[in-house]
């Protein structure tokens, strides 16, 4: 078959990139054409996302894509994935009604407890199967309803970030199921937003777009954008809009006897299941049930991941700037202290090194003194947490976990990967680092009828990637 060309827009928290991918019928080749930053924007007492800036970066990337396409070749499709939970607001004429709050904004601290004064916590979990976190969309919207309801009342549409950007490109408003599943408003059994929870925050269902499945064509580029970018009226596809859902769709695995770890700023560890697991034990362990491709459910737990390392490195004065050299400092420490990465003190402290030192002091452990000590504590603590959560997954799930597939940037960290293999006692298959973009492209291929099933997507993923296996040493 002739090569087809697809544009994957992959947005993470604070930075994004655009990939021009080609498909030859057997494998996907990906070429990063742009990378851009959009840090949290402080305004007044809050942290927001600069949505117009993100949109501008995307348009610039699309113009660059046009320059890179071979003569006479058209782009087949465009897909956008992003982080979950956060939403944008639009007036009826399509203009932006308010900047999206960032999930790290402290206005939601204690939001779960406030909401659960009115609605039983168990009832919420039975309806949604979602892990309780202050920044879940349900609690963000409830906080805004209490403190600043004007933006909710004036908005004609409330859309998750990938859906908001697709709306800005096409004029068509949808709610893609996988990103909506992060909200703690979607029922995983009915696959619809829960009316009672919406009523509780004073919102009508009409403010959200219709639920669509990954692989649905949303619309084509608006005529003015088609002309501006030179791409023409290219279809914009609803991929698995939540970045972790896209990443899991791209895991190069021959079967489902595995757990996955999306390892980046956040660590998301879970399994792919045929349906939700909503039990007293899953609630006790605070597991979440998020949507995946082909009606699968990603039963997982969010863990504070390499955010710990990223924040610490900004405070190291004389340490190497190169990431691989900095990571190698792990070998120069013998510090045995362990922290709980999910302790609230590590959510967004002014100083991460001081927060880690205070935790060690409070728990009677050796205090870190050097960058190497901090790095060793972070890596060993993450591996220990991964082991603990894998044991919990085995308790609540029928899936046979024979190996751990690690995807995302953290899969390149040989020290963390080996520690994780040793902690879990099973092989760790590391890679690809760019799994989210790959899953985005694979879903576009489904929408374009080039692939017909998740099984075929996984076959192409295997053909398109290289991995490294770490076997346990103990």
Structure tokens at 114: 């406030």
CA distances from 86 to 10, 42, 43 (A): 16, 16, 17
Give the integer Cα–Cα distance in Å for 468 and 454: 23
| Predicted pLDDT at 321 | 87
Structure tokens at 137: 């969309």
Residue 127 belongs to some domain of the structure: yes
Residue 443 belongs to some domain of the structure: no
The residue from 218, 243, 268 where one domain ends is: 243
User: What would the pLDDT profile of 392-402 be if each residue is shown by its tens digit?
Assistant: 999 999 999 99
The residue from 243, 273, 298 where one domain ends is: 243
| Predicted pLDDT at 446 | 97
Same domain, 125 and 80: yes
Same domain, 177 and 291: no
Residue 52 belongs to some domain of the structure: yes
Question: What confidence tier does 261 reach under pLDDT thresholds 50, 70, 90?
Answer: very high
Q: For residue 308, which of 265, 244, 368 has the smallest C-alpha distance?
A: 265
pLDDT, mean of residues 136-151: 96
Question: What confidence tier does 166 reach under pLDDT thresholds 50, 70, 90?
Answer: very high
Give the integer Cα–Cα distance in Å for 238 and 176: 7
Residues 6+ apart with CB under 8 A from 296: 272, 273, 274, 454
Least confident of 72-76, 214-218, 287-291, 316-320: 316-320
Structure tokens at 421: 């293999």
pLDDT, mean of residues 215-227: 98
Same domain, 258 and 215: no
Mean pLDDT estimate for the chain: 96
* Active site (catalytic) residues: 243
Residue 79 belongs to some domain of the structure: yes
CB 446 within 8 A of CB 472: no
Share of the chain above pLDDT 90, in %: 93
User: What would the pLDDT profile of 360-382 be if each residue is shown by its tens digit?
Assistant: 999 999 999 999 999 999 999 99
pLDDT exceeds 80 at position 298: yes
Question: What confidence tier does 348 reach under pLDDT thresholds 50, 70, 90?
Answer: confident
Residue 470 belongs to some domain of the structure: no
- What is the extent of the structural domain holding 48? 4-243
User: What would the pLDDT profile of 43-99 be if each residue is shown by its tens digit?
Assistant: 999 999 999 999 999 999 999 999 999 999 999 999 999 999 999 999 999 999 989
| Predicted pLDDT at 212 | 98
pLDDT, mean of residues 253-265: 92
pLDDT exceeds 80 at position 474: no
Give the integer Cα–Cα distance in Å for 238 and 169: 12
| Predicted pLDDT at 383 | 98
Q: Indicate the burial class of 256 (C-beta count within 10 angstroms; 0-12, 13-18, 19 or more).
A: middle
Residue 461 belongs to some domain of the structure: no
Q: For residue 386, which of 378, 398, 376 has the smallest C-alpha distance?
A: 378
Same domain, 307 and 391: yes
Same domain, 236 and 186: yes
User: What would the pLDDT profile of 300-344 be if each residue is shown by its tens digit?
Assistant: 998 999 999 999 999 999 889 899 999 999 999 999 999 999 999
Count the residues in the chain: 474
| Predicted pLDDT at 254 | 87
| Predicted pLDDT at 14 | 85
Give the integer Cα–Cα distance in Å for 43 and 100: 12
Same domain, 48 and 126: yes
pLDDT, mean of residues 248-259: 93
Same domain, 182 and 52: yes
CB 432 within 8 A of CB 252: yes
CB 260 within 8 A of CB 269: yes
| Predicted pLDDT at 258 | 96
Question: What confidence tier does 285 reach under pLDDT thresholds 50, 70, 90?
Answer: very high
CATH code, 422:
3.30.420.40
Same domain, 180 and 262: no
Give the largest CA-CA distance in the chain. 67
Residue 469 belongs to some domain of the structure: no
pLDDT exceeds 90 at position 29: yes
Find where tokens 């999306």 sit: 262
Same domain, 262 and 234: no
Structure tokens at 28: 């996907």
Same domain, 228 and 303: no
Structure tokens at 287: 């597991």
Q: Where are the alpha helices (DSSP H) in 69-173?
A: 111-115, 121-128, 137-147, 150-154, 161-170
Residue 200 belongs to some domain of the structure: yes
Same domain, 31 and 169: yes
Domain count, the chain: 2
Same domain, 73 and 134: yes
pLDDT, mean of residues 295-301: 94
The residue from 215, 243, 271 where one domain ends is: 243
Q: Is the pTM of this model over 0.75?
A: yes
């Amino acid at each position: 078959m002739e090569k087809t060309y697809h544009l994957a827009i992959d947005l993470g928290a604070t930075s994004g990139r655009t990939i021009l991918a080609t498909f030859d019928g057997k494998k996907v080749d990906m070429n990063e054409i742009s990378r851009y930053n959009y840090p949290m924007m402080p305004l007044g007492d809050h942290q927001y996302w600069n949505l117009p800036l993100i949109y501008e970066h995307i348009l610039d990337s699309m113009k660059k894509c046009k320059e890179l396409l071979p003569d006479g070749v058209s782009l087949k499709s465009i897909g956008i994935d992003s982080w979950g939970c956060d939403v944008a607001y639009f007036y009826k004429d399509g203009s932006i009604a308010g900047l999206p709050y960032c999930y790290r904004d402290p206005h939601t601290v204690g939001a779960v407890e406030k909401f659960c004064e009115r609605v039983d916590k168990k009832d919420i979990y039975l309806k949604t199967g979602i892990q309780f976190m202050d920044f879940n969309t349900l609690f963000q919207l409830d906080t805004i309803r209490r403190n600043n309801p004007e933006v909710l009342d004036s908005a004609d549409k409330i859309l998750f970030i990938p859906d908001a950007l697709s709306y800005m490109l096409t004029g068509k408003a949808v709610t893609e199921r996988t990103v909506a599943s992060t909200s703690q408003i979607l029922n995983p059994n009915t696959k619809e937003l829960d009316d009672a929870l919406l009523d509780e925050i004073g919102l009508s269902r009409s403010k959200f777009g219709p639920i669509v499945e990954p692989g649905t064509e949303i619309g084509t580029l608006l005529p003015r954008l088609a002309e501006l970018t030179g791409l023409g009226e290219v279809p914009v596809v609803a991929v698995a809009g939540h970045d972790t859902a896209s990443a899991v769709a791209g895991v190069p695995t021959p079967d489902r006897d595995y757990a996955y770890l999306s390892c980046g700023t956040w660590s998301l560890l879970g399994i792919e299941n045929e349906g939700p697991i909503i039990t007293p034990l899953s609630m006790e362990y605070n597991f979440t049930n998020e949507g995946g491709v082909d009606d699968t459910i990603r039963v997982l737990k969010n863990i504070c991941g390499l955010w710990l390392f990223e924040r610490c490195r900004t405070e190291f004065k004389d340490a190497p700037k190169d990431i691989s050299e900095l990571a190698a400092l792990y070998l120069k420490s013998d510090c045995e202290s362990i922290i709980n990465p999910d302790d609230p003190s590590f959510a967004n402290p002014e100083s991460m090194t001081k927060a880690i030192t205070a935790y060690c002091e409070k728990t009677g452990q050796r205090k870190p003194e050097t960058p190497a000590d901090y790095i060793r504590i972070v890596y060993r603590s993450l591996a220990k947490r991964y082991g603990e959560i894998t044991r919990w997954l085995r308790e609540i799930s029928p899936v046979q976990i024979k190996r751990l597939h690690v995807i995302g940037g953290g899969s390149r960290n040989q020290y963390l990967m080996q520690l994780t293999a040793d902690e879990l006692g099973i092989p760790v298959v590391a890679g690809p680092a760019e799994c989210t973009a790959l899953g985005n492209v694979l879903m576009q291929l489904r929408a374009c009828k080039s692939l017909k099933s998740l099984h075929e997507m996984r076959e192409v993923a295997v053909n398109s990637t290289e991995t490294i296996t770490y076997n346990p040493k103990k």
